[in-house]
Homo-oligomer: A and B are copies of this chain.
Amino acid sequence: MAQERPLILVTNDDGITAPGIRALIEVMNKLGDVVVVAPDAVQSGMGHAVTIHSTLYLDEVKIDEGPQKEYKSNGTPVDCVKLAIGEVLHRKPDLIVSGINHGANSSINVIYSGTMSAAVEGGIEGIPSIGFSLLDFHWDADFSASKHYAEIVAKDVLANGLPKGIVLNVNIPKLLLSEIKGIKVARQAHDKWEETFDKRQTPHGRDYYWLTGVFERFDKGTDTDIHALNNAYVSVVPVHFDMTAHQWLEKLKFLEK
């Protein structure tokens, strides 16, 4: 007797035509019935943004020849997850996968990442959810090692589930599959961006800015995602969305008046 195939929702923040999501769809088609709801354009850096002051569109599209059903939206990655559950699937999927992002979402990037926010939104809904990111932001990046590890992690999560309130942040080093040593479960490194602004002038004489910056390493720990990635491992960070710093609840009682 055939077992029912799991229903898998795929989304991303680089837009529905990005090679990263096409690679992820290809892998997920092996593991279940795939529905894609993804942004119609690049939405990277959108964090956990939702669209409440403008309207959302949702259109069925056919991008390639796979068996998956696909929809594009003008919304953010988080909007796409909400639209998928509410207006496309009319149920919760068995798994949500987001990515494969073109570029790292390790360390503090988890908080700016549209890829990870889509996964976190799945977690808030109680759905096992994983964000995948490759440490290569090029459009023509090589996703073959990422596909291999996306399949391993997704199979594991489909088989074992995830603890309530936990989503996975998976980053893959920019290496050949043969060069990657395996998977490490790690904590988010306490590193950050040092921003600079590239100040320019419009042809009409008005100043404007591009946000740029360099990623600065402060955290010397050997149990971090950055350390794992720098040592040729795929990093898996269990991420939660309780932002409370529980260890400070008692110590900040002096604020009570």
Binding site for B on A (CB under 8 A): 42, 44-53, 55-58, 76, 78-79, 82-83, 85-87, 108, 110-112, 117, 120, 124-125, 152-153, 156, 160, 163, 165-166, 168-169, 182-188, 190, 192, 195-197, 199-200, 206-211, 223, 236-246, 248-249, 251-257
CB–CB A44/B55 < 8 A: no
CB–CB A57/B243 < 8 A: no
Residues of B within 8 A of A196 (CB): 86
The CA of A45 and the CA of B53, in the complex, are separated in Å by 9
Residues of B within 8 A of A192 (CB): 124-125
A-B contact pairs, 24 of them (CB 8 A): A45-B50, A47-B49, A47-B117, A48-B112, A50-B211, A51-B211, A56-B210, A78-B112, A86-B195, A111-B243, A125-B192, A156-B254, A156-B255, A166-B245, A183-B256, A184-B256, A185-B253, A188-B242, A190-B242, A237-B244, A238-B252, A240-B243, A240-B244, A240-B248
CB–CB A243/B188 < 8 A: yes
Residues of B within 8 A of A156 (CB): 254-255
What number of copies of this chain does the assembly contain?
A: 2
Among candidates B42, B52, B112, B163, residue contacting A50 with C-beta atoms closer than 8 Å:
B112
Closest 9 CB pairs of A and B: A47-B48, A47-B47, A240-B245, A238-B248, A56-B209, A187-B244, A238-B245, A55-B208, A49-B49
Q: How distant is A57 from chain B, measured CB to nearest CB, in Å?
A: 6
With A49-B49, A223-B249 known, 6 other A-B pairs at CB within 8 A are A55-B208, A56-B211, A125-B192, A163-B248, A238-B244, A238-B249
The CA of A5 and the CA of B117, in the complex, are separated in Å by 39
Residues of B within 8 A of A197 (CB): 56, 82-83, 86-87
Q: How distant is A107 from chain B, measured CB to nearest CB, in Å?
A: 10
CB–CB A55/B163 < 8 A: no
Among candidates B46, B153, B200, residue contacting A255 with C-beta atoms closer than 8 Å:
B153
